[in-house]
Structure 1
Amino acid sequence: MGNFRLLRAYEPADGGYRILVDRLWPRGISKERAAIDDWAKDVAPSTALRVEFGHMPERFEEFSDIYLHELESGEAAEGARRLLDIAGNEPDVVLVYGARDTVHNHAVVLLDFLERSRSAD
């Protein structure tokens, strides 16, 4: 089973099967430069949650709890299962995200969720 890793959309592509995990396309990035193989909009936080969080680090803990709940049920859960299936066929899965903050963002929560889900199986 392949490994998951994170990379900002603004960093140079460095191989792997690249999946954009944002609902919105990253600003100022062309499709060619992004080199995206797949776009998993459905695994991103709901629009309401994203707006409420507003990329404010002091809200990250609450955001993480709510987003984890979204990943465990509903549309985001289906998207997470699909990412796990992809990792079963790809040796290197790169979760691409647009957030400026590399510590307080949904991709960090998603990566942790996917790794825990895989180890639970």
Structure 2
Amino acid sequence: MPSNKHSIDVAHVKDGHPRSGQAVLVDRIWPRGQRKDEAPWDEWLKAVAPTTELRKWYGHDPDKHDEFVRRYSIELQGDEPAEAFEHLRKLHQSGDLTLMTATKDLETSQAKVLAEMLA
């Protein structure tokens, strides 16, 4: 299978809309202080976000990151999350994609995990 020629990026919601491609918010919770009419993304796909239980357990603790990735991968196999992930895959296949999150540390975010899974 040929590699995808489209880019996939991770960005913070405060960075604004990317210059090209689709932007998708991948958080379960709407970002604090973000007006809906000024959202810098094209779509909100909360079904692909980690469950509240997993998100609270993880707390973006770097020591828990590997276990978070493992548990999150399992969650993404559920019906609704798998469907949402497949939607992201199709968006990425059709053009550039930016996964957006309000998480402060992008490197340990679910958006980064999703980007790596889609790459």
Residue ranges of structure 1 left out of the alignment (5+ in a row): 116-121
Question: Residue 9 in 1 paired to residue 10 in 2?
Answer: no
Look up the SS of the partner of 2:117 in the other structure.
Answer: helix
Which residue does the alignment assign to 1:22? 27
Q: Which amino acid aligns with 1:87?
A: H
Contact 2:10 2:106 in 1 (8 A): no
Task: Give the CA deviation at 1:108.
Answer: 1.0
The number of aligned residues is 114
Q: Which amino acid aligns with 2:93?
A: G
What root-mean-square deviation, in Å, do the aligned CA atoms of Structure 1 and Structure 2 show?
1.6
Which residue does the alignment assign to 1:72? 77
Which residue does the alignment assign to 2:92? 87
Which residue does the alignment assign to 1:41? 46
Task: Give the CA deviation at 1:20.
Answer: 0.4
Contact 2:26 2:44 in 1 (8 A): yes
Separation of aligned partners in 2, 1:111 and 1:5? 7
Contact 1:68 1:113 in 2 (8 A): no
Q: Which amino acid aligns with 1:95?
A: L
Question: Residue 112 in 1 paired to residue 89 in 2?
Answer: no
Q: Could you state the TM-score of these two structures normalised by the residue count of structure 2?
A: 0.85
Separation of aligned partners in 2, 1:44 and 1:109? 11
Task: Give the CA deviation at 1:74.
Answer: 3.0
Residue ranges of structure 2 left out of the alignment (5+ in a row): none
Separation of aligned partners in 2, 1:75 and 1:99? 22
Q: Could you state the TM-score of these two structures normalised by the residue count of structure 1?
A: 0.84
Contact 1:17 1:92 in 2 (8 A): yes
Q: C-alpha deviations, 1:46-89, integer Å up to 9, x for none? A: 11111111122221111111001122343221111011112233
